[in-house]
């Protein structure tokens, strides 16, 4: 019988869980590392889950209807995911990108039919930038006011509960099912915090003994670090950072994670190259960061025989201008 998919929305979720056995053997790892390959989602990243859920729920709640314009502050995967589903559902999409975002990011969004602009085009955000006082709240408020003034709908992934909810409903249950319930440690990096919060909430409810490990870039591997080193892209530090740089979901995740591991973009790059050569696994920047932390965990004697699940938000294709694979 023919098997034809007629909506990309059906291709969100149910991503594979992959074990790089050659890498494990070569590195003598005592635990299994199971990688959730999120680039198998339509639009190529984990953000398909949250973007689709936020769009569908806003439509269900009567907040938007086809023909309307949606707005989001994003420079990466959320933008591409929203552009994908907005196109098919008949919405216009305006994306406010972080200043300093690459030309590639503008071009990708334009190709999808979205309208990219810089966050500094919003006067209140520009003012905060000039005063060196930019904050998460300042960005949210600026984009919200812009949307209200134009009669547009602000998706607001940083505060929209349907972001973590997508992971509570899909990512968590998939992991539980794929491991037959045998997941001992869950590892992820953090952007808005939606993935870590939603997934760990579900998994901890099923197994309170499960260990949650949040991963962040070390100081030299963050945007604006002036270290000459790449920043780990698409994610933000969430632990021991000034409150103005934390999102609500990061704060809420605080009682979910049991440990924070910091990784360097240099180590992540080494790990990523090795994985490519041992198993052909082509990880994106934050996936390489999370995997590096998983490897550290897999080396600990107390974790021998355990299953470590690690989130790989996207693959390496969007990071070729970094030093990740050089």
Q: Which residues belong to the active site?
A: 47, 286
Q: Strand, coil or helix: what is 37?
A: strand
The region that residue 284 occupies, defined by phi over 0 for left and psi between -120 and 50 for alpha, beta otherwise, is beta
Give the residue, chosen from 43, 120, 147, 192, that forms a contact with ligand PLP under the rule CB under 6 A.
192
Give, as ranges, the residues between 150 and 179 that touch ligand PLP (CB under 6 A). Answer: none
Number of residues interacting with ligand PLP: please give it, by CB under 6 A. Answer: 17
User: Based on CB atoms, which residue is closest to ligand PLP, 138 or 164?
Assistant: 164
Per-residue DSSP letters for 85-125?
A: HHHHHT-EEEEEEPTT--HHHHHHHHHTT-EEEEGGGSHHH
What sign results for the dihedral spanned by CA atoms 180, 20, 31, 211? negative
Give the residue, chosen from 116, 193, 214, 248, that forms a contact with ligand PLP under the rule CB under 6 A.
193
Q: Are 55 and 85 in contact (CB under 8 A)?
A: yes
User: Based on CB atoms, which residue is closest to ligand PLP, 128 or 232?
Assistant: 232
Give, as ranges, the residues between 207 and 236 that touch ligand PLP (CB under 6 A). Answer: 234-235
Binding to ligand PLP by residue 15, rule CB under 6 A? Answer: no
Instruction: Give min distance, CB of 149 to ligand PLP, in A.
Output: 26
**For the chain, what is the radius of gyration of the CA atoms?**
19
Q: Are 189 and 238 in contact (CB under 8 A)?
A: no
User: Based on CB atoms, which residue is closest to ligand PLP, 192 or 216?
Assistant: 192
Q: Are 255 and 200 in contact (CB under 8 A)?
A: no
Site string for ligand PLP, 301-320 (x = CB under 6 A): ------------xx------
Give the residue, chosen from 36, 47, 105, 201, that forms a contact with ligand PLP under the rule CB under 6 A.
47
Q: Strand, coil or helix: what is 33?
A: strand
Binding to ligand PLP by residue 189, rule CB under 6 A? Answer: yes
Binding to ligand PLP by residue 200, rule CB under 6 A? Answer: no
H helix or E strand, kind and range, residue 57: helix 47-60
Residue 23 tokens, joined: 């890498």
Give, as ranges, the residues between 60 and 89 that touch ligand PLP (CB under 6 A). Answer: 76-78
Binding to ligand PLP by residue 13, rule CB under 6 A? Answer: no
Give the residue, chosen from 190, 261, 298, 310, that forms a contact with ligand PLP under the rule CB under 6 A.
190
* The Cα angle at residue 284 between residues 51 and 189, in degrees rounded to 5: 65
Q: Strand, coil or helix: what is 47?
A: helix
User: Based on CB atoms, which residue is closest to ligand PLP, 13 or 306?
Assistant: 13
Binding to ligand PLP by residue 194, rule CB under 6 A? Answer: yes
Footprint of ligand PLP (CB under 6 A):
47, 76-78, 189-195, 234-235, 284, 286, 313-314
């Amino acid at each position: 019988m023919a098997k034809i998919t007629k909506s990309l929305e059906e291709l969100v979720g149910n991503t594979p869980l992959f074990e790089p056995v050659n890498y494990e053997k070569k590195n003598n790892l005592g635990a299994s590392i199971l990688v959730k390959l999120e680039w198998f989602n339509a639009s190529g990243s984990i953000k398909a889950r949250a973007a689709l859920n936020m769009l569908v729920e806003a439509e269900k709640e009567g907040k938007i209807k086809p023909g309307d314009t949606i707005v989001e502050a994003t420079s990466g995967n959320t933008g591409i995911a929203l552009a994908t589903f907005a196109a098919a559902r008949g919405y216009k999409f305006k994306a406010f990108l972080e200043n300093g975002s690459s030309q590639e990011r503008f071009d990708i969004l334009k190709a999808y039919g979205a309208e990219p602009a810089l966050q500094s085009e919003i006067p209140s955000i520009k003012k905060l930038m000039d005063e060196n006082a930019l904050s998460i709240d300042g960005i949210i408020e600026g984009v919200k006011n812009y949307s209200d003034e134009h009669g547009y709908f602000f998706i607001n992934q940083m505060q929209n509960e349907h972001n973590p909810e997508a992971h509570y409903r899909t990512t968590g249950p998939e992991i539980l099912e794929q491991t037959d319930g045998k997941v001992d440690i869950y590892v992820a990096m953090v952007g808005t915090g939606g993935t870590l919060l939603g997934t760990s909430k579900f998994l901890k409810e099923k197994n309170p003994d499960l260990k949650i490990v949040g991963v962040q870039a070390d100081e030299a591997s963050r945007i604006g670090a002036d270290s000459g080193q790449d920043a780990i892209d698409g994610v933000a530090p969430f632990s021991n950072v000034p409150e103005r740089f934390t999102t609500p979901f990061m704060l809420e995740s605080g009682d979910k994670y049991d440990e924070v591991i910091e990784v360097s973009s240099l180590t992540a790059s080494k790990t990523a190259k090795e994985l490519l050569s041992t198993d052909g696994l082509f990880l994106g920047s934050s996936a390489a960061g999370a995997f590096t932390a998983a490897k550290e965990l897999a080396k600990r004697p107390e974790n021998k025989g355990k299953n470590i699940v690690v989130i790989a938000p996207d693959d390496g294709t969007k990071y070729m201008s970094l030093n990740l694979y050089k």
